[in-house]
A and B are shown apart, each in its own frame.
Chain A
Amino acid sequence: MEDPAALLQASKIEKSFPGVHALKKVDFTLRKGEVHSLMGENGAGKSTLIKCLTGVYGIDGGDIYFQGQSIRPTSPQHAARLGISSVYQEVNLCPNLSVAENIFVGREPMKGPFVRWKAMEKSAGEILSRFDIHIDVRRSLDSYSIAIQQMIAIARAINVSAQVLILDEPTSSLDKTEVGKLFEIVRRLKSEGMGIIFITHFLDQVYEISDRITVLRNGELVGEYKAKGLSKIALVTKMVGKDYDELTSVSRVESGGDNEVVISLEEVSARHSIENVSLELRRSEVVGFAGLLGSGRTEAANVMFGLEHNSSGTVRLKGTAVRLASPAEAIRRRIALCPEDRKRDGIIGELSIRENIILALQARYGLFKYIKKKQQNEMAGKYIELLGIATPDSEKKAGELSGGNQQKLILARWLATEPEVMLLDEPTRGIDVGAKAEIMKLTLDLCRQGMAIAFISSELDEVVRMSNKVIIMRDRAKTGEIAEKDLNQDAILRAIAGGDAS
């Protein structure tokens, strides 16, 4: 079992939570100077394994070896001291502290009992300049973008003479250039002999950076593979445990292209969000939105949902100019939005599934037309069945559902309001492939029934499969439209990159 090159080796890891057997005799080996991707659907046990390795959870069985020594990290601090550092998706730094402090807090250069600020700031500047980042390290962290904060988090992590670096979904909030920059740093660290564990949902990134891939499914090890020898299809098949034909069965609803226009933007601008955007959503059509993060695709949806207000231009509903002052107003006008950040803006975790489902409809009815309990139960039952939400009953807390089911729950909430326009912002993010396919099929069903749908997604593959038309956003403006007949991933990529792109 000893592998001479092994830096970190986990063997037969067992971990259970009440009611869940999260890890079943999982083996994992990280070698010196490699980037090792950990893949699996949500709930496969990736984060549990990471948390066991970094001491967030204790393990119920098995062994962890670090450079041949058996270890039992008891806390993230302990793991960091041993040389295992981690950087998470949401930047885990303190926004109120300076950049330098964020790199050093907890292990500041000291003189007696006192912190040596000057020395700390100097070395912080040096560390960051290694990454080609030249910023004022005395400013507080929150004055910098998420991308820079992420780099600072990595700077902090590797500064602890770390030998193992765990990157848990580090790229979700980064744009393409920033991801490139991050990978540059990862490659440099790798060449210095560090072992890096990388977790992401983006398949392309996995292949761009990894040497090896370990796949988990349902808490069990599927296998460890060399990235070069494993095709994408094979990888996804291993992750899902069944053939990857679910997604391929999704195909768009045919449309003549002259259906009734339900909502349209005419040269709409909103402060700090979009500029001069014109677009139309038609009945029984899916309009895809493609563009990088921050390109204005989410913002365009927000304007149509009354979350942001247009400073110029006209929003028309079935030809009539309207002013959407608030989401409540938009809902009254039969518009629905599944927000990008499901946890923050969608699910109300402590409320039951039933209450989550009726919430938007009730908000439209107002205070006094309270939906009767019986009706609530009927409605909940109906949508649980219709969308196939996996739950024993409608009184379970929404927060206890899995990601895919939560997404379905939000869809159910909107379906209950019988909308004519459905704006879906990243409806498939962070949910497993099976659930993805289900949600896409559902969306298409809704489209067939006459709904006008906006489909915003970073997964171009999905956009291409679903859309009757794709709108390209760049720098807060609409830069183009691709019609159904010209639709393929390459066309979209070229359009997103634009003429001047590298």
Chain B
Amino acid sequence: MKEMKEVKKTKKSRFSIDIKYIPALAAMFLFIASYAIGGMLYGDRGFLTLRNFTSIFTDNAYLGVSAVGMTFVIISGGIDLSVGSVAALSTMLIAWCTAELNMDSRLVLGLVLALGTFMGFMMGVLIDKLKVPPFIATLIGMFLARGLCFLISIQSITINDPLLRTLGRWRIRLVQRPPAHINISVIIFAVVLVTGIVIMQYTKFGRGVYAFGGNRQSAMLMGLPTSRIQIGVYAFNGFCSALAGVLFAFYTFSGYGRHLYGMELDVISSVVIGGSLLSGGVGYPIGSLFGIMIHGVILKYISFNGKLSSWWTKIAVGVLLLLFIALQRFIVYVADRNKKILKEH
């Protein structure tokens, strides 16, 4: 098979790194570049200090956790609009159960995570078994979770549980001056991220998610347990949403139905900026990390500048989305062209 060997040769010389990695790499470079530029602009005010750097993580850990789950969903070719509401419901339940019902906070945490997973599971069932489009199924979850918050209470409830307070305040100081620390949220985020990477890269389930997102019909015919994969992805994301809510509760010590309005938007855009294709099949949890970090750096710019209003975040995110989507389109275009040329020779 002479010509087949030739294909291999042309292939190798034509591009050496797989173009699929480029968007994720671009996100990494953009994060580094934006951080460096921030250093040039606001270096004198401590932009480059370890304290500022770690605070990007402590401020955004909850988003990061949710982004890992969302990456799973998006790679599977779906979308989940319910994350912000499920997270808000988690803060609400934690606050209400501990403050009003005097329940044990460990039990409450377990219940909240289980409930989030269950809601994700149910949405997955709607999508998989009843063929409801993910957009609509998770819209239901979004309405339901948000509505439940307000059924519990329309007020904000403060969290006074001693254990939760201790956990929320717990931190490891990295350097003394200026004080830089990481807290439990960052550690949990790191654990979730690493778990996410390992699951996606090294387990049957993870590879199944990629296969499913690449071509679900094929995945089914290849004998993959597609239902389990699809439902599993939403259940995992439900867990991540609930966990994000827990971290947010640690962050604010309050439960409130209006918490985290529009979080799904931040998370989805970060994941897309981080190199995941909304059509499914392509994406990396590590890329989403950089997507979240870029988001965090934009917020830092605004707080360091002092004069810029927060709405610039939205415009900046919009522009970044545009840039990254354009980049992805370009890559697809180049890949198609290469393929076409290859076919001819």
Contacts and interface: CB of A to CB of B under 8 A. Distances in A.
Direct A–B contact present (CB less than 8 angstroms): yes
Interface of A: 75-77, 80-81, 86, 88, 91-97, 101, 105-106, 108, 110, 113-115, 117, 132-136, 139-140, 142-145, 148, 156, 181, 272, 294, 476
A181 B1 contact: yes
A142 B282 CA distance: 13
A347 to B, nearest CB: 19
Contacts of A81: 223
Interface string B7-23: 11001100000101000
B339 A108 contact: no
Interface residues on B, range: 35 or more
B343 interface: yes
B224 interface: yes
Given A108-B207, A272-B341, A76 B7 contact: no
B81 to A, nearest CB: 24
B341 A144 contact: no
Nearest to A91: B218
Nearest to B199: A113
Contact of A133 (B1, B210, B215): B1
A105 B208 contact: yes
A88 B105 CA distance: 55
A423 B219 CA distance: 37
Nearest to B12: A136
B4 A94 contact: no
Contact of B339 (A80, A86, A142, A156): A142
Given A105-B224, A106-B208, A110-B204, A145 B7 contact: yes
Contact of B8 (A76, A136, A294): A136
A292 to B, nearest CB: 13
Contacts of A94: 210-211, 214-215, 218-219, 222, 281
Given A94-B214, A96-B282, A143-B339, A77 B223 contact: yes
B20 to A, nearest CB: 7
For the residues of A in contact with B, the DSSP-based class is loop
B155 interface: no
Interface in B215-232: 215, 217-225
Contact of A97 (B12, B210, B217): B210
B343 to A, nearest CB: 6
A132 B1 contact: yes
Contacts of B307: none
A114 B203 CA distance: 5
A76 B220 contact: yes
Given A132-B1, A133-B4, A143-B342, 8 more contacts: A80-B223, A94-B210, A94-B215, A94-B281, A136-B12, A140-B20, A142-B335, A143-B339
B265 to A, nearest CB: 26
Contacts of A135: 4, 7-8, 11
B131 interface: no
Top 4 A-B residue pairs of the complex, sorted by shortest distance between their CB atoms? A94-B214, A77-B223, A96-B214, A96-B281
Contact of B343 (A96, A108, A134, A145): A145
A92 B341 CA distance: 24
B72 to A, nearest CB: 15
Contacts of B219: 94
Contacts of A106: 204, 208, 211, 222-224
Nearest to A135: B8
A463 to B, nearest CB: 25
B232 to A, nearest CB: 14
B8 A134 contact: yes
Contact of A76 (B208, B223, B344): B223
B17 to A, nearest CB: 11
B311 interface: no
Contacts of A136: 8, 11-12
B282 A105 contact: no
B296 to A, nearest CB: 29
A142 B336 CA distance: 9
Contacts of A140: 18, 20
A334 B62 CA distance: 62
B281 A76 contact: no
A95 B214 contact: yes
A101 B203 CA distance: 12
A91 B217 CA distance: 10
Given A76-B220, A80-B223, A105-B222, A97 B207 contact: yes
Contacts of B281: 94-96
Nearest to B1: A132
Nearest to B338: A143
A159 B102 CA distance: 59
B5 interface: yes
Interface in B245-261: none
10 contacts: A76-B221, A91-B218, A94-B222, A101-B207, A106-B224, A115-B202, A139-B11, A142-B335, A143-B339, A272-B344
A148 B202 contact: no
Contacts of A77: 223-225
A472 to B, nearest CB: 19
B332 to A, nearest CB: 11
B45 interface: no
Contacts of B4: 132-135, 148
Contacts of B344: 272, 476
A145 B345 CA distance: 11
A470 B224 CA distance: 48
Contact of B203 (A76, A115, A132, A134): A115
Nearest to A128: B4
B120 interface: no
B203 to A, nearest CB: 6
Contacts of B287: none
B116 interface: no
Contact of A96 (B11, B203, B213, B217): B213
Contacts of A294: 343
Contacts of B5: 134
A497 B201 CA distance: 47
Contacts of A110: 204
A179 to B, nearest CB: 13
A92 B222 contact: yes
Most A C-beta atoms less than 10 A away, residue of B1, B5, B12, B339? B1
Contacts of A97: 207, 210-211, 214
A264 B208 CA distance: 52
Contacts of B11: 135-136, 139, 143
Contacts of B207: 97, 101, 105, 108, 115
Contacts of A92: 215, 217-218, 221-222
Nearest to A271: B340
Interface string B37-69: 000000000000000000000000000000000
A304 B237 CA distance: 51
Contacts of A113: 202-203
Contacts of B224: 77, 105-106
Contacts of B203: 113-115
Nearest to B217: A92
A312 B207 CA distance: 47
Contacts of A139: 11, 18
Interface string B182-208: 000000000000000010011110011
A84 to B, nearest CB: 11
A272 B340 contact: yes
A144 B222 contact: no
Contacts of B220: 76
A93 B210 CA distance: 12
Nearest to B340: A272
